Structure formats: structure tokens, C-alpha cells
Amino acid sequence: MQSGSDAFNDALLSISVAISAIIFMVFNISLEAYVSVILSLFIIKSGLELIKESVDNILGVRIESDLSKKIKEEIQRKKRRSGGI
């Protein structure tokens, strides 16, 4: 899923650069500085999300309470069947 999102983001960034170049060529209005700031903020945001995802995978993420309850119930059922406490 992340690869598709990355490809879409790359395409969006490329299109924004191309549009700013076309605007400069047609209207002689320079938007490179503004587009660069927006692109750099977008890249920083993507990088922070990537770091957060990596840290979550390394440290682990808390599972949903519903799933936790189901696991505990299943363990209790197995213990009762096997004669455990």
C-alpha cells in the first residue's frame, strides 16, 4: 500500500514542478521558491511519517482491546480443556 501512495506523491510533486515551470514560461511569473517551500514541507512530512511507522514497527504497537480480549478468552478456553488453572 505504501508503494502506491509513494508513487502518487511522486507524481503529484512532479506535476506541481511542471506546472510552475509552465506558468513561468507562459506568464513570466516565478513560482519556484514557493513551490520549493511547499515541496520541502511535504517531503519532511512524509519523512516524519516514515520514521513514525518504522519506530512503531520496531517498538510494537498496542493491539485493539477487542482483539486482546478474544486472545485472553481463547487462552482461558484452552487452559480449561487441558485441565490447567
The predicted-structure confidence for 10-61, as pLDDT tens digits, reads as follows 888 889 889 999 999 999 999 888 988 988 998 898 889 889 888 888 888 7
The model's pTM is 0.56
User: 10 Å Cβ neighbour count for 17?
Assistant: 15
pLDDT of residue 84: 57
pLDDT confidence tier of residue 82, bands split at 50, 70 and 90: confident
Grid coordinates belonging to 45: 512530512
Question: Residue holding cell 507524481?
Answer: 11
> 20 exposed, middle or buried (CB, 10 Å; 0-12, 13-18, 19+)?
buried
Residue with cell 504497537: 61
